[in-house]
Chain A
Amino acid sequence: MAVSGVLLVLFLIVHMAGNLHVFEGREEMNAYAHGLRTFGEPLLPHESLLWVLRIGLIAAAAVHIWSAVVLTRRALAARPVRYASKKPAKGESRHAVATMRWGAAVVFLFIIWHLLDLTFRTVNPVKDVPDAYGAVVATFSPERWPVTVFYLLALFALYFHLRHGIWSAVQTISGPDTKWRKRTQAIGLAVALIVVLGFAIVPISVTFGLVS
């Protein structure tokens, strides 16, 4: 759970930073997308970097989901009779109790939509794969506002997921003392905010016509 989660967070940071090329305009964004495909050529085959990332991501996601299923099944089996009275969570990661598993489901559905939209272009009006910029502008156009709303909802779920997940991964892997645990929680919160705001700024800018 922790190791696969760290890999996925690293990917998210790179993905978020890459997205910001959209503010440089159509040519720069498409050049960035082209650069990812041709990275290492002619020494390496076409799309070699992309395939390394894709295989790594699929493996990390599979391990992450499998770990989550194992943990959830164990949790359900560990409490066969539920409490009659419930109190709100009050631990250090109280926001995680209600958001982690449901948020994961939202993020999972989002990833399916996101791949169909901006990778395979099945549900995107722009079918021309090299035109990454055109696809982004088309999918977040004001008429397609539910797409933007869904994207932002998924980011909201992602925020809670990262806020807990980052420090939780550090707790599992390295087991910090109290001082470093508090610092790790602060870092997790900061990274979650930066990643989510960095992702959110793109659809918001497109929907409100700042990028067109």
Chain B
Amino acid sequence: MKLSLRIWRQPDAQAEGKMVSYEIDEVSEDASFLEMLDVLNERLIGEGEDPVAFDHDCREGICGACSLVIDGQPHGPQAATTTCQLHMRKFKDGDKIDIEPWRAGAFPVIKDLVVDRSAFDRIIQAGGYISAPTGTAPDAHAVPIPKQDADAAFSAAACIGCGACVAACPNGSGMLFMGAKVAHLGLMPQGQPERHTRVLGMVAAHDDAGFGGCTNTGECAAACPKEIGLDVIGKLNRDFRKAAIRAA
């Protein structure tokens, strides 16, 4: 199929960027979206042009490296799918496709479609961990955990930290990401010792990084490739309230 692409090109963090048009022909509908960009890049390299920079790693939807806002939607039009798992059969011959980076002050563009997501690392460093003794692994049944809690924690732990929630949020808020971490660790007995300091630290790091505030529009959950729900934001709010009262 033949496609008209408009891609955000920005040579480096300081430079002004702009949308640049590219025509691409003979795209296989079995190609993934990133493979389509690979084909475009091979052509650009052959023509002596700078290839389009974009983030990618595992290409199996589990690492959280790929990003791309495709036609105004983080990870493209298909629900519960990362960009690398999006296939060109979702598009039609002759489609015009806009490709932009995540847009957030806390995620500055490094080059073209690559953004710096280390603000998420700072949030994790501020509380997204547990303290556990090292050594041999304990027996699996040493700490009993109700099945419901284990399942809910696992669903929250499916967060790959890609940042689509921030990209989709009209306020540029990272609440779904934080909520996923708070829910995942807070539901486990191992996460209890740091439960209160975790939520206070993460929220402070989130606000320091320049993310916006949550207004519960739900755009984050709709964009999340791992279908993390708004209930994790509820858990974050609840933990934050308890921790803030306790700290006061």
Contacts and interface: CB of A to CB of B under 8 A. Distances in A.
Interface string A156-191: 000000001001100111111110010000000000
Nearest to A70: B213
Given A91-B220, A181-B230, A75 B213 contact: yes
Interface string B195-239: 000000000000000111111111111100000011101111110
Interface in A89-117: 89-94, 96-97, 100
B19 A84 contact: yes
A167 B69 CA distance: 29
B171 interface: yes
A94 B237 contact: no
Contacts of A85: 69, 71-72, 98, 100
Range class of the B interface residue count: 35 or more
B75 interface: no
Interface in B111-136: none
B212 A71 contact: yes
B216 A74 contact: no
Contacts of A90: 219, 222
B212 A74 contact: yes
Contacts of A176: 231, 234
Contacts, number: 120
Interface in B145-178: 168, 170-173
A88 to B, nearest CB: 9
A174 B170 CA distance: 23
Contact of B230 (A77, A97, A171): A171
A77 B100 contact: no
B100 to A, nearest CB: 6
Contacts of A91: 168, 217-222
A84 B72 CA distance: 8
B212 A168 contact: no
Given A77-B210, A87-B71, A175-B233, A71 B103 contact: no
A84 B7 CA distance: 10
Given A85-B72, A92-B221, A93-B218, A78 B212 contact: yes
A79 B212 contact: yes
A52 interface: no
Contacts of B106: 78
B68 interface: no
Contact of A78 (B6, B171, B222): B171
A204 B170 CA distance: 36
User: Could you say which of B104, B213, B222, B229 has the most chain A C-beta atoms within 10 Å of its C-beta?
Assistant: B213
B105 interface: yes
A175 B175 CA distance: 13
Contacts of B237: 171-175
B82 interface: no
A171 B220 contact: no
Contacts of B215: 71, 75, 96, 100, 168
A184 to B, nearest CB: 10
A178 B231 contact: yes
Given A79-B212, A90-B219, 5 more contacts: A75-B215, A89-B219, A97-B170, A168-B215, A171-B216
8 contacts: A78-B173, A81-B17, A83-B100, A84-B8, A87-B71, A167-B216, A171-B237, A177-B234
The 6 tightest CB contacts between A and B, nearest first, are: A91-B218, A78-B172, A175-B234, A92-B218, A78-B212, A87-B72
